[in-house]
Each structure stands twice: as C-alpha cells, then as structure tokens.
Amino acid sequence: MKLNGLTYFEVQERKDKGLVNYEVKVKSKSLKDIILSNTITIFNILNISLGICILLVRSYKNLFFLGIVIINTLIGIYEELKTKHELSKLRILASNKAKVIREGKEEEISQDEVVMDDLICYKAGSQILVDSKIVDGEVLVDESFITGESEPILKTKGDELLSGGFIINGDAKALVIRIGADNYSAKIIGQISDIDNNNSIVIQGLNRFLKFISIIIVPLGLLLFYQQYNIDHDLTNSVVSTVAALIGMIPDGLILLSSTVFMLAALKLSKRKILVQDLNCIDSLANIDTFCFDKTGTITKADMQVNSIISLSKKYDVEDIVAAYAKYSCDDNATIKALRAYRSPKKDYKVESYDSFSSYTKTSSITFSGLGKFTLGAKEYIDDKFDLKDYEDHYRVLLIAHENEVIGIILIEDILKENADKVIAKLIKKDVAVVLISGDSMNYLKNVAHKVGFAKIEAIDMSKYKDDDYDALVSRYNIFSRCDPNQKLKLMKALRKNHKVAYMGDGVNDTLALKEADASISFIDAKESAKNVSKIILLNDDFNSINVLIDMGRKSVNNLTRSATLFINKTIYSTLLALLFIFIKTEYPFKPIQLTLNNFVLIGMPSFVLSLLPNNEKTTRNFFKDVLRTSLPTALIIFLNVVIVIIMSNFIKFNGGMSTICFYLVTFNGFLLLTKICRPFNLFTATLMSTLAAIYFVAIIFFRDVFDLILLHNYLYLFLIIMFAINLCLFKVINILLDKWYTK
C-alpha cells in the first residue's frame, strides 16, 4: 500500500490552525534572568550594604571597592549573553530533522515544521521527535531515556512511538498524533530547569567554599564591629575597619571567574565550529585520561569502498546478488552505500521480505522471490568456523549466505581520516590512553590500530566473551572487537570506575556508550540519537578537534586553579584576621581603599591575564586541594606577619604606621605567591610582573595619601626589610616541604 501523506494544502491548513510542532526546550535564561542572576547575589547585596555604611560615615574614598563589584557584574552579564548568542547559532546547525512524506514524496524538514497527521519515516538511528503511531513497518525502540526501561521494545503497526526514544533497528512510517507541549518528552522537559553546572568538580568545590564564607561573614562582621567600636567608640573608624575586613573576606572576582570560565571556553570552541551542549564537559575534558573511539565514521571516514567480492558458489551470480541486495536493502548505512557504489544489479529482483541490520546480531537479510533468503553480516554471526585468515588483517570482511550456506566473501576497505595517526600520537603524548571499541573483527581492528599508531595493542573478541567481569577486561585490553551496544555500555561503566573517560562515536550503536561517558563527542553527520546524547558535537567534522578539546579543558581548569589561588589566599587571611581582631583590642590595620588596590593589582589583573595563557599540562583531578595547597601557606604567613606587627607594636613605636607596614607585608607576600603561580617564567609573565610592580610604585609614590599610606621612619624600613627576608625564607621552606609531601 502506498502512503502519500498530507498534501501541501492540508499542511498549510494545519499551520493556520496552529497544529504545528515546536521544540520544547529545557528552560534557558532570558535576558532578564541573566541580568538578575548576575546582579542579585548574596555577595553583591553584602557589598552594596557595606558601601551604604561607608557612605553614611562619609568616608567616600573607601567606596572605590564598589567599582570592582560593578565591573565584575557587567563582565558576567556580557559574557553570558555573548555565549548564549553564539551557542544558539550553532545549535541551529545541529538541530533535529524529520523525514516526512507529503504528496507521495519524501522530504526533510526541521522539527518545528512537523504538523499534526504528518507521516514520518523512521529508520535505525532516528530520534523520535514527536509522539506518533506506526501505520507501516516495525522497529526496535530504545525508550530508556524517557521511561527507564533498559530493554529495547519491538513496536509494530498500531503501536505508539514516544518522543525522546530512538530507533535501534528496522524502519517504519508513523502518523503524528501529538505535537509541541503535548508530546510525552515535552511534559518531562517542561519540568526541568536550566542546565545546572554544579555537576562540575571545579564548580562544586568553589560553591562549597563560597557557601561557607557566606554563612560566617555576617555574624563575624557584627562581632568585629562591636569589638572595634569598643576600642574608642569612634563610629567612623569602626565602620571603615569592619568594612575593610569583610571586603577582604568576600571573593568577588572568584564568583565571576567560577561562573564564566567554562562559558568562555565554550565560546572559543564555537569559533572553531565545535558545539558544547553541556558546559560541565569542559571540566571533564581537563581530566580525561582514557579516550575511547568507535572505528567507522570516527577514526575512519564514514564512506567505505569495496575492494572485491569473492564468489564461492557456482549456482548464483554472487556479485549480482550482492548488488541487488544493496539496491533493495532498507538500510542506508556505510556498508550498504559502499556496495551500491561498487556496481548495480544486471536484472530486477522481487523482494518478499527483509530484516534490516541489527547492532546486536550484526546481520541483515532479504528474501528474493524464487531465490530464497540471503543473509549479510559478520563471520561470527553467520559461520563462526569459516576461515578468513587471509583477509581479516587487511579488510573488513563480510559474508553473504543463502539460507545457511556461505556463497560469497565481501572485502571492504576503510579510509583513515586525515591525520588520524598524528591525532592519536598527540593524545598519547598528553598521557591519555587510547582505546578502540567496534563491531568489526579483531584482526582488522588490530591492523587499524597499528596504522594509526597505538602504543600497545591488546585485543579481544567480545562475541566470544561470556563472563561479566568487565573490570578485568578494561585493565588488560585496549582493542575490543565485535562489540554490541550493551557491551560498549558495560565497558564504559567499567572504565569510569578508575578513569575519566571520553567516547567518540557517530552511530546508533554508540548511543548508550556516549550517554555514559564523562565526555561524549559526535559529529554533525552522526545519527540523530548519537548527536542528541553527545555533550559535544563537531560541526566542523574535523577529527583534529580532539586535541583542541583536551587542550581547552586543561587550559580552563589549570588557569582557573591559578586564578582561584589568588582569591582564596585573600579570603583565608582576611577571615583569620577578622577572627583575631574579635578577641584583641587593636584597630584593624587595613582600610577599604588599600584592599581595593590589592584586589585590582594583585588579584583582578593577573587572574584575567593568566587566563589567556596556554596551559595544557595534565590536571591532577584534585582542584580544590591544589588551590588550598598553593594559597594556604601564603595566607598563614600574612596572618603571622600581622600578629608579629601587633606584638612588636609593644616594643617599637610605629607612630601611626602600622597600617602602612601591614599593607607592604601583604603586598610583598602577594608578589611571592604570584611568582610561584606564574612559573615557569617567560616574556609574557615577566612583563606582567613588571607592569604590576610599576603600578604599585606609582600608587605608593604619587598617590600615597589616596591609599592612606604614610612615610615611615628609617628604623621602620629596616624592620620591613628584616620581615621581608623572614617571609622569603618561610615561603621557600614551607613550599619545599609541601612539594615533598605532595609528591610522596
């Protein structure tokens, strides 16, 4: 029965009535949401409150810290809007398409052009875009993403296909029965908020730290104000001192840094036509130590070519049978395309029935009228004992059988992607293990692995593996042949127990593995089901992008680690000092204007500049531990410095210079910390350090009064020099001891 679908008049009629589909997306931030989320934060509210307090006591120059708050907020809004705009453009390129029949002809349309009662064609790899009912054919469907049912379900005429599932095997035509928000998947998506980046290890660590600071900062501030006021009952000094302490505790730039670093990475990747669908994936890319590849369409090009067809039958013209098989096959995979390109059949054949290719059985079949059933597939699933040793090392080998008798051997060649060997070599150099997982034969995969430069080759035929100890498998082998989709999934789960794993694939048989991987990568021409579960889509279809992704992930996390060190160092020593001055009757030594200078020169500027540097070293996967390891020693030394100054004030007359001395000590230690995180030094970092030093020199010499600094007596400069020498020794000794402990 020929199915003609809707006429164009009927399509327009439904559009006029509003019976047209639209994609129900995960709720994303509007312009208003972006502005509010960047402005109405607990730390912004606290900063504004502190600014009002300074305004009330008329200490106007100490209001400059609000300038940094405003700049941070504006940058955050700008970057989020820019990233949203760029990624939205790329998502259009990767958007889902539907193949429909209208007026008897097949045509491809976008998801939001589907109307009620449209006739959609589904085949293996198709994503089910709208709820529909099968009117012809049968398909094996995976609905695990929407129903939780792990086993594929066979759907036949009259059965419903729920949106969100995907077709594993078979082909069918189905009538659209629900659209837009009425779709099954839309009802689920409508309840989901915008993607939350808290799954990121980096963001989780920073959020825990920020949450702790936000809890203690208000009660600590109130206690400190009470103590400062009791010293001399001077409201202005008490407010200024308390505000200075709290400003030091607030990691303003860290909030901006943590919220935008991965957006910036996604934005840079978008310029290379790489779509990041999940920003958390940037974090995962930094820690990848195992990279798994499917073969066909990934390491090799999607297009294959037939080398030859070897006939083993005198009864049949095997080449013509294969040509007819390809012509009448309902499949449209790379193998069938290669067979169609090889040659056309000499005569017409009548098809009685067919079974499309299955990722699980690795076979397909067609029954021709008067000839019987022909089966095409892998040796292991047609005749496991058939000897193909002479071919398997160099070709992808298929058998064609009539009933249960093999009548021909088909030798197919894959074409390696350009620079595949160089891409693999770079991964290995980055200390990333490479793994090949495919449905092809073991010997052929070993040959491909050898060509692309695998450092070691340990292979296993998964069609013969019946145990369930996948942990032992992944610790021993790096080539897995004859894998079905469930085996790929199990391999991913086993690898992820001890590794950070990336998986690259483009077929329906890769979908489950892609969904499981820490970082999943697919191509623009991949099957819809593969693209929809992938966290990254290569719209440029460039295999070389793999190392770009790894480098971008490492650069983002490494530079975030360095920058976060500067912010957290300041927060730690400020918190410790606030606690100290609650219990001693001494005026807090810093003024807000002084901290504004330090925040801008020692933290804001270098953190921005350092984020631009290439930094592709392998990460340790202990982000917050690394940050504390670097920042804590300096924070403790600064705290100790202030304690020593307070003690020495009983023996040395500072003559109002305590604040200036403490400022110089903080600045000196800040430069020591910068020196550590800028290593190894190069022209760029040396220029940065020189520029920062010059800014300080100008501020101290020409704008001393603005920053509440005074000229010190000569003996106080001698005291400072002695303290600098002690700090330098302490800094070196503590860091040497920490390095030795850390490398054990």
Q: What pLDDT digit, counting tens, does each position of 462-471 carry?
A: 988 888 889 9
Res 392: pLDDT: 79
What are the pLDDT digits (tens) for 500-517?
A: 999 998 877 788 889 899
Going by pLDDT thresholds of 50, 70 and 90, the confidence category of residue 559 is confident
Q: What is the mean pLDDT of residues 529-554?
A: 87
The single residue listed with the structure tokens 């480098």 is 551
What pLDDT does residue 146 have? 54
Residue 194's pLDDT is what? 38
Q: What is the pLDDT of residue 419?
A: 87
* Cα distance from N-terminal residue to C-terminal residue, the chain: 74
Least confident of 94-103, 139-148, 373-382: 139-148
Of 14-18, 185-189, 432-436, which has the strongest mean pLDDT?
A: 432-436
* Amino acid at residue number 686: A
pLDDT computed for residue 723 by the predictor: 95
Q: Are 535 and 228 in contact (CB under 8 A)?
A: no
Question: β-strand 274-276 against 536-538: which pairing, if any?
Answer: antiparallel
Band of pLDDT at residue 621, cut at 50, 70 and 90 = low
Contact 29, 210 (CB under 8 A): no
Residue 26 scores a pLDDT above 50: no
β-strands 290-293, 501-504 pairing: parallel
CA-wise closest residue to 445 among 230, 661, 299, 309: 299
Structure token pair of residue 215 = 């809890």
Give residue 187's pLDDT band: very low, low, confident or very high (50, 70, 90).
low
pLDDT in tens, 299-319: 888 778 899 999 999 899 999
pLDDT at 202 over 80: no
Supply the pTM of this predicted model: 0.74
Q: Name the pLDDT band for 191 (thresholds 50, 70, 90).
A: very low
Beta carbons of 72 and 255 less than 8 angstroms apart: yes
Q: What is the mean pLDDT of the chain?
A: 85
Q: Per-residue pLDDT tens for 316-353?
A: 999 999 999 999 987 777 789 899 999 999 999 999 98
Q: Check: CB of residue 505 under 8 Å from CB of residue 100.
A: no
Domains of the chain (ranges, CATH numbers) = 197-267+550-742 (1.20.1110.10), 274-298+417-541 (3.40.50.1000), 304-415 (3.40.1110.10)
pLDDT > 70: what percent of the chain? 92
pLDDT of residue 193: 37
Question: What confidence tier does 742 reach under pLDDT thresholds 50, 70, 90?
Answer: low
Q: Where are the beta strands (DSSP E) in 118-188?
A: 119-123, 132-142, 153-155, 160-161, 166-176
